[in-house]
Amino acid sequence: MIIVMRSDAAPEEITLVTGRLEELGATARVSEGATRTVIGVVGDLDVARHVTWDTLPGVERMISVTGPLRFVSREAQQEDTIISVGDLRIGGGTLTVIAGPCAVEDRDQLLEAGKAVKAAGAHILRGDAYKPRTSPYSFQGLGREGLELLAEARDVLGMPFVAEVIDPRDVELVSSYADIVRIGSRNMANFPLLQEVGRQQRPVQLKRGFTSTIDEWLNAAEYIYNEGNHQIILVERGIRTFETAARNTLDISAVPIAQSLSHLPVFVDPSHASGRRALVPPLTRAAVAAGADGIMVDVHPHPELALVDGRQALPPEEFAELMNDVRKLAEVIGRSLL
Amino acid sequence: MIIVMRSDAAPEEITLVTGRLEELGATARVSEGATRTVIGVVGDLDVARHVTWDTLPGVERMISVTGPLRFVSREAQQEDTIISVGDLRIGGGTLTVIAGPCAVEDRDQLLEAGKAVKAAGAHILRGDAYKPRTSPYSFQGLGREGLELLAEARDVLGMPFVAEVIDPRDVELVSSYADIVRIGSRNMANFPLLQEVGRQQRPVQLKRGFTSTIDEWLNAAEYIYNEGNHQIILVERGIRTFETAARNTLDISAVPIAQSLSHLPVFVDPSHASGRRALVPPLTRAAVAAGADGIMVDVHPHPELALVDGRQALPPEEFAELMNDVRKLAEVIGRSLL
Amino acid sequence: MIIVMRSDAAPEEITLVTGRLEELGATARVSEGATRTVIGVVGDLDVARHVTWDTLPGVERMISVTGPLRFVSREAQQEDTIISVGDLRIGGGTLTVIAGPCAVEDRDQLLEAGKAVKAAGAHILRGDAYKPRTSPYSFQGLGREGLELLAEARDVLGMPFVAEVIDPRDVELVSSYADIVRIGSRNMANFPLLQEVGRQQRPVQLKRGFTSTIDEWLNAAEYIYNEGNHQIILVERGIRTFETAARNTLDISAVPIAQSLSHLPVFVDPSHASGRRALVPPLTRAAVAAGADGIMVDVHPHPELALVDGRQALPPEEFAELMNDVRKLAEVIGRSLL
Amino acid sequence: MIIVMRSDAAPEEITLVTGRLEELGATARVSEGATRTVIGVVGDLDVARHVTWDTLPGVERMISVTGPLRFVSREAQQEDTIISVGDLRIGGGTLTVIAGPCAVEDRDQLLEAGKAVKAAGAHILRGDAYKPRTSPYSFQGLGREGLELLAEARDVLGMPFVAEVIDPRDVELVSSYADIVRIGSRNMANFPLLQEVGRQQRPVQLKRGFTSTIDEWLNAAEYIYNEGNHQIILVERGIRTFETAARNTLDISAVPIAQSLSHLPVFVDPSHASGRRALVPPLTRAAVAAGADGIMVDVHPHPELALVDGRQALPPEEFAELMNDVRKLAEVIGRSLL
C-alpha cells in the first residue's frame, strides 16, 4: 500500500499518517520527492488497508499494490484448478463444451435438445429451471418441475447438467438435482447467494456480472472459495458498453486476463454475450482460439418458438457444424476435448 | 409493436409473420415502403410481445413501442405517488432529507450522527446493519444488533430510519425494525429479494443499479408493485462509466427522466455516487436544483475512523452548512421541506 | 512515479530497474514489503516517465503519482483564470450565459434568436457556421456566409459571439470573425486543431470529448496553453454511457472535479448533453447549483423547423423563464451574472 | 421511418404530422393501436428524415428503419470489396498481416523490425511518422523524415507500408509516400480529414473510434467513399468501457457485425486494443478465428526501449511463433494468406 501526500502537506500531517500506521502494526517508509512525499506501507496490512487514509489532512490518495484475494489468485496457487464431474476433467488443458436450451420448457424440448448436443459432442447439458427476468411479466422458469425434467434427461442421455440458482433459499434444492450449479450474471454480487453455494458440495459456475470488472469477479469467486467450495468455473458472458449492435460486448480479453490472475478455469458463453444467433459461431471460434477452458452455447430444437432468448439459440444442425470447427481449432491450440 | 422485414423478404415470409400474429390474437397492419415492408401490430400484445420475431425468415428486427410496465408508469397513474411515514409526506412537491452514517458501527457513533443530522434538519436517519461488500474480508455490518441500535436511536431522537436488506431471508427481520427498507444498488436485479420486499408493508427505497438503465430500474419497481407494495421510492446513486475521477458518475438527468416516466418519488444519493466528500455538497445542490424529491447523505461524526465508505461521509458541521443551501435552493425550486 | 515489482522478482531484476533509473538521472528509493518490492522514483522524471518500465523482467506495473500537466493544473496556478471579452469577465465567481441556435441557418433565424436571448439576459450569442455531422448527407453549416451573418448579428445586437472551428485550415478565418472560437466534442483530441487555436489570440472554448476522461480533457487544454493561448474555457457536455434514455449522460460531477484540478473556468452545455428539450431546464438549474462558471443553451425561434438538433432547442419563451430561475439560483450560490 | 404518437395525442396533432409529411413529398400510413397511433412513412425520405418530428406536439418519438448509408452497406453492394496493393489482394477471403513498430524511431529500429516481420510472413509494414498523443510533451513522431525512412524500408524489403495521417494539411505528403494511409482511432470523426483522404488515391485504413458505435464507424467510411475513394479497410482496435484491466476492450463481435453490415474488409489491431504484450497472441488468434480479413500487430526489435507503446509490442521471436498459429488457424477457417 502506498499513501501519496499532497504537494502542500505539512510535516505534521506526514507524521500523523506515519504515527497512525505504526499504531496499526504497519511500517511506514517515507520517500520525499521533488514535489511531494510518498509513504510506502509494509508489514501486516489487514487493518491498515481498510482505513480511508485519504480523508486525513494532507493526504492526496491511497494506492493499493496487492489485492485482497487470498485464495483464487495465481499467487496463492500456481497450478490450474482441475474440477472433476464424473469422468470429465474441467480445466488444466481440456476444452469442455456445455450446450442446451436456455430455459427448460417441457420434456420434448429438453430431450430433443439434449440428444442433439450429445450427438454433436457436447459434454454437459444446460437448461434452467429458474430464470431472472427484467420484467415480472416474462416467463420465469418451471422451478422444481424443470429440475426433475433435467434429472430425467441426465438419466436418459448419460450426461451431467448445470442449472442456475437465483435464491439462497433454493440452493439446497437445486444442488440436490444438478451436477453443477450456476450463479448468473445478475447475481454475481449477490453475496448471500455466493456464500450459500460456497457451503454446498457441487461445483459452481460463476458468470461474470455484465457490468463487473474482472477484479470484482475474482472477489466474488473468493466469497465462494472462502466458504469451503473450491470447485469454481468462471464464465465470461459479455459486458455492458455503449455499443448496442449486439446485446452485450463479449470481452474476449477477459479469458487470458482471468487465466493469468487466477488458477480457476475460464469459460465463454457466446450466446448470452451476443444475443444473436448469427454471432454465436464466430464468437465461439474466437473463444476457443483465445484459449478458453470451455464454452457454453444455447441450442434449441426450434429457436423461433423459444420462450426465453430464442434469438440467440442455435438450431441443432448449426451447432453440429460449429462443433467440427471447434474440434479443429482445439487441436491447433493444443487442447483436448475430453 | 412494429416488425421490420428485410429488404429482400419474400411475400410468403411476410405472410408467415402476419399469419402467426393473427393466431396469437393480434392484428397486423402491413405498410409497403420503397425498400422494405413494415408490419404494425395492434390489439392484445401480451403474448406477441414475447415471441422472438426476428428469428423468423425475412424479419430484420422488432421494435417495441410501448413498454411492459403496467403500474409504475405515468401512463398508468398521472398523479404523483405520496408516501406517508409518520407525519412525513414523501413525494408530491416536498423535499425529504435522509442522513446518517453509511453503516452502524456502535451506539455512540450512531447517536452522535443522529443528533447532528436531526439538529441540522434531516427528516429520516440512515444507518445500515447489513452491507454488501466486494471483498469477503471487509466489514459486513452488525446484523440484528445494528437494527436494535437503530431502533434505540429512533426512540431517543424521535426520527424514523431506513435500513438496507440484502437477503430475502432477512426481509421479515429488517422490516420488523425499520420504517423504510432499502434495496441497494447491487441488488436491484435480485428478483427474489424484490418480490419479498413487495410482500411486506414498509415503504421501499429502490436504488438504481449502478449499471442499470432507467428502464430496468422501473421494471424492478414493477416487481415490487406487482406483489402489492405500492410505496416505492426510487434513488439515483451514480452509474458506472469510463470516467474514474469519481467512484461513479451521478446521472443527474435520471431525476427528470424518471419523474416523467413514473409517478414514484425520485431521490438522489450524492455520497455513494461520488465516493468523495468534497463532491457531496455541489452534487447535493445540483440534485435539489434538478428537482429531486429527496436527498440521502452520508454523515459520520468522525469520517476518518469510519469502517465503511468514510471518504464520502460529511462531518456534522459540513452537513449543517449544506442544509442551509438546501433550504434556500428548495425555496427557489418551489419545494417544501416538510 | 512508483515501480511495483512482481512478487517473484529476482534481486538482479530489481537492480536492473534501479540501474536504469540512475542512468536516466532519477533516484530510486527501494522498499521491500512482505510480498514484493516497490521502488519510489524521485528527481527529474521527464525522461523516466516515458519508459515502459513494465516491459522489463520482474516489473509488475508502474504508477504515475503526478500527472504531466505543466500549466493548466491548480498546482501550477492557484488563482482562477479570468477571461475578458469586451466588458465581460468569464470565471472568478461570475456566471456567464451563452445562448442561441445550434447552427446558423439564415439571417432571420439568427437575429430572431439573438434578440430573444439578449432580452432574456444572455451575455454571448452562439451559432455555428461549421458543423461536424455523423452522416455526410446531413446539413454541414453555411461556412463563411454563416460567419458573416454572425458578425452582422453582433453589430445589430451589441453582443459577442462564439463559433466552432473543425478544420485547422479554417482557424484563421473563424478567429477573424468570432469573439471566442470553439473546439467541439468530436475534436477534443484533434491535436493539430488544438495547436492551431493555441496559436491565435481569441479565447477558446474547449468542449470535453463525450468519451474523454477529465484527465484527457485537461491534457487537451494543455496543448492549447502550451502554444501560447491561455484563455481557455472548459465545457462539460455529457459523456457516452450505457444509458440511452437521453443522448448523453451529463457528468455534473465534472464541474467540481475540473474546478478543483484546474484554474480554468468550467461551463456546462445542457442542450447537447441531453438532446431533449424537456431536460434542458432541470439540467441548467443543476449546473448553476453545482457551481458552473457558465452555461451554454441552444435556443431556436422555431425548434420544430431547425436543421440541426432542433429537438434540444428551447423556444425563446421557455428560455426567458429559465433565466428567472438561473438568476435566483446564482444568488443562492453567490455568483454574479455580470 | 416510423413516427410514434403519444397515447394522449389529439386528432389534430396527428393531422399536423401527416400534413407536413405530405408537404415534404412522403406518404403517411396511419395505424391506430389500442393505446396510441403509429405513422409509417414511405416514399422519398431524404428530407423527412432530418426533421425532428419529436418536437411537434403529440409526437413521442421517431424511429429510423433504414440507415442513411448509401454506399458502404451490404444492401448497396453484395460482393466483398477487394483492394489491390501491388500483388496483394486484401479482402474477399484472404488474411492480410500487417506488422511493424508503432512509431518510426530511427533507421536501425525500422529495418530491424521490417526484416523480422517480413521473414515471419507479414505482408505489409506498419510504422508511423505522425502520432497523436494525449500529452503535448510525449514523442510526436519524426514527421517527413519518418516517411523517408519508411520509403527506404519499402525498397530494401520489397514490402508496402501503411502510415497514419493526422492533419488534413499532411494528406498529400503522406499519400505521396505511403502505400496505404491510415486514419487513427482519435480521428475517426475528424470529418475534414476523412474528406481529404477520400479525395486522394491510396487505399485508406479507417480505425474505429475507441468510443464510436459500429454505425458511426460505417458513416465515417461513407464520408471517405462519398468523396470518390472506395478502397477502405475497417480496423477494429478496442473500445472504451468500464473495465480497466486492459487498455481497451477488444470488441471481437464487431468483426462479424461489420462484415454483415458492410462489404468492406475488416481488420483487427490486437496491440492497441489491449496495450499489453501478453494479450496480443491470444487476441490475434481470436481475431483470425472470428473471421477477420486481416490483423495488424505491433512488433519492435527492443520493446523495452520503444518511445511509443512499447508495452504492447511483440519482440520478433514471439511474432514469428504467433505467425505459426495464425497460418494453422487461417487454414481451419478457410482463409488464404496471400
- Residue D195 CB partners (closer than 8 Å, separation 6+): D168, D223, D224, D227
- Residue D38 CB partners (closer than 8 Å, separation 6+): B2, B40, B65, D2, D3, D4, D5, D30, D31
The Cα of B31 is separated from the nearest Cα of chain D by a number of Å equal to 7
Which residue type does A309 have?
D
Query: Exposure of A273 by Cβ count < 10 A (0-12 exposed, 13-18 middle, 19+ buried)?
Result: buried
A26-77 confidence digits (pLDDT tens): 888 887 776 778 888 877 666 676 667 777 788 887 776 656 788 999 989 9
- Residue B97 CB partners (closer than 8 Å, separation 6+): B121, B122, B123, B124, B294, B295, B297, B323, B326, B337
SS3 content of chain A, % helix, strand, coil (to 5): 40, 20, 40
Chains near D with 3+ CB pairs less than 8 A apart are: A, B, C
Q: Distance from first CA to last CA of chain A, Å, rounded?
A: 44
The Cα of A22 is separated from the nearest Cα of chain D by a number of Å equal to 33
Which residue type does C306 have?
A
* Interchain proximity D52–C310, CB inside 8 Å: yes
Q: How far, in whole angstroms, is CA D170 from its chain's centroid?
A: 20
* Interchain proximity C134–D166, CB inside 8 Å: no
C-alpha cell at A318: 448449426
* Interchain proximity D32–B38, CB inside 8 Å: no
Among A197-201, B41-45, B330-334, D135-139, name the one with the lowest average pLDDT. Answer: B41-45
* Interchain proximity C4–A65, CB inside 8 Å: yes
Q: How far is CA C337 from CA A189, C181, C263, C316, in A?
A: 48, 22, 20, 19
Nearest CA in chain C to B209: C243
Name the phi and psi angles at A57, rounded to 5.
-60, 135
Residues present in chain C in total: 338
The residues of D whose Cβ lies within 8 A of any Cβ of B are: 2, 4, 7, 29, 31-36, 38, 40-45, 63, 65-66, 75, 211, 240-242, 244
Please write down the long-range contacts of A186-191, taking CB distance under 8 Å and 24 or more positions apart.
A186/A132, A186/A210, A186/B189, A186/B190, A187/A132, A187/B190, A188/A212, A188/A216, A188/A217, A188/A220, A189/A216, A189/A220, A189/B132, A189/B134, A189/B186, A190/B186, A190/B187, A190/B190, A191/A223, A191/B132, A191/B133, A191/B136, A191/B166
The Cα of C306 is separated from the nearest Cα of chain B by a number of Å equal to 24
Out of D33, D43, D241, closest to residue B42 by CB: D33
Name the phi and psi angles at D100, rounded to 5.
150, -175
Out of C35, C40, C44, closest to residue A66 by CB: C35
B83-139 confidence digits (pLDDT tens): 999 999 999 999 999 999 999 999 999 999 999 999 999 999 999 999 888 888 877
C-alpha cell at C68: 504531466
Q: What ipTM does the predicted assembly reach?
A: 0.88
Distance CA B323, CA B97 (A): 9
A83-139 confidence digits (pLDDT tens): 999 999 999 999 999 999 999 999 999 999 999 999 999 999 999 999 888 888 877
Nearest CA in chain D to C241: D241
- Residue C12 CB partners (closer than 8 Å, separation 6+): none
Q: Chain B interface, mutation test: which of A64, A134, A218, most B Cβ atoms within 10 Å?
A: A134
- The confidence score (pLDDT) of residue C66 equals 59
DSSP D54-76: GGSTTEEEEE-SS-S-SSSBTTT
Q: Is A147 within 8 Å of A174 (Cβ atoms)? A: yes
* Interchain proximity C29–A34, CB inside 8 Å: no
Nearest CA in chain B to A166: B192
pLDDT of residue B66 exceeding 90, the answer is no
* Interchain proximity B40–D63, CB inside 8 Å: no
Q: Which of B152, B182, B161 is nearest to B170 (CA)?
A: B182
Q: How far is CA D314 from CA A288, C12, C60, D281, in A?
A: 22, 23, 17, 9
Contacts of B269 in chain C (CB under 8 A): none
* Interchain proximity B211–A137, CB inside 8 Å: no
D177-191 confidence digits (pLDDT tens): 999 999 999 999 999
Longest Cα pair distance anywhere in chain D, in angstroms? 76
Share of chain B above pLDDT 70, in %: 96
Out of C244, C257, C332, closest to residue B328 by CB: C332
The Cα of C328 is separated from the nearest Cα of chain B by a number of Å equal to 7
Q: Is A54 within 8 Å of A69 (Cβ atoms)? A: no
Nearest CA in chain B to C259: B279
Contacts of C246 in chain B (CB under 8 A): 253, 257
pLDDT of residue B47 exceeding 70, the answer is no
Q: Give me the numbers of helices (H) and strands (E) for chain A, helices first please.
A: 10, 14
- Give the CA count within 13 Å in the CB-facing half-sphere of B237: 26
Residue B300 or residue B52, greater confidence: B300
Q: How confident is the model at residue A229 (pLDDT cuts 50, 70, 90)?
A: very high
Please write down the long-range contacts of B325-330, taking CB distance under 8 Å and 24 or more positions apart.
B325/B281, B325/B284, B325/B285, B325/C332, B325/C333, B326/B95, B326/B97, B326/B284, B326/B285, B326/B288, B326/B295, B327/B121, B328/C332, B329/B285, B329/B288, B329/B289, B329/C289, B329/C329, B329/C332, B330/B95, B330/B288
* Interchain proximity B167–A167, CB inside 8 Å: no
**What one-character DSSP code corresponds to residue A132?**
-
Q: Which of B319, B327, B243 is nearest to B281 (CA)?
A: B319
Distance CA B213, CA A40 (A): 41
Contacts of C291 in chain B (CB under 8 A): 282, 285
Query: Exposure of D46 by Cβ count < 10 A (0-12 exposed, 13-18 middle, 19+ buried)?
Result: exposed
Among A152-166, D23-37, D133-147, D203-217, name the one with the lowest average pLDDT. Answer: D23-37
Contacts of A209 in chain B (CB under 8 A): 211
Find the DSSP H helices in chain B: 11-23, 107-120, 144-157, 171-177, 191-198, 214-226, 254-261, 270-274, 280-289, 316-333
* Interchain proximity B283–C243, CB inside 8 Å: no
Buried b (16+ CB within 10 A) or exposed e, B108-144: ebbbbbbbbbbebebbbbbbbbbbbbbbbbeebbbee
Per residue of chain C (338 residues), give pLDDT as tens.
778 888 788 888 888 888 888 887 788 888 777 677 888 887 766 667 666 677 778 888 777 665 678 899 998 999 999 999 999 999 999 999 999 999 999 999 999 999 999 999 999 999 999 988 888 887 788 999 999 999 999 999 999 999 999 999 999 999 999 999 999 999 999 999 999 999 999 999 999 999 899 999 999 999 999 999 999 999 999 999 999 889 999 999 999 999 999 999 999 999 999 999 999 999 999 999 999 999 999 999 988 777 777 788 999 999 999 999 999 999 999 999 86
The Cα of C320 is separated from the nearest Cα of chain A by a number of Å equal to 35
- The confidence score (pLDDT) of residue A5 equals 85
Mean pLDDT of B264-282: 96
Q: How confident is the model at residue A1 (pLDDT cuts 50, 70, 90)?
A: confident
| Residue entry with cell 462531518 | B315
The Cα of B70 is separated from the nearest Cα of chain D by a number of Å equal to 13
The Cα of B311 is separated from the nearest Cα of chain A by a number of Å equal to 6
Out of B50, B168, B191, closest to residue A168 by CB: B168
C168-199 confidence digits (pLDDT tens): 999 999 999 999 999 999 999 999 999 999 99
DSSP B134-163: SSTTS----THHHHHHHHHHHHHHT--EEE
C-alpha cell at C318: 421557455
Angle at CA of residue C250, ends C245 and C253, nearest 5°: 140
Taking the alpha carbons of A45, A50, A53, A56 in that order, is the dihedral positive or negative? negative
DSSP B78-132: -SPP-EEETTEEESSSB-EEEEE-SB---HHHHHHHHHHHHHHT-SEEE-BS---
* Interchain proximity C31–A38, CB inside 8 Å: no
Beta bridge partners of A125: A99, A161
Contacts of D245 in chain A (CB under 8 A): 213-215, 253-254, 257
Nearest CA in chain D to A290: D282
* Interchain proximity C239–B242, CB inside 8 Å: yes
pLDDT of residue B201 exceeding 80, the answer is yes
Distance CA A228, CA A250 (A): 31
The Cα of C338 is separated from the nearest Cα of chain A by a number of Å equal to 34
Share the mean pLDDT of chain B: 91
Contacts of A238 in chain C (CB under 8 A): none
* Interchain proximity D253–A278, CB inside 8 Å: no
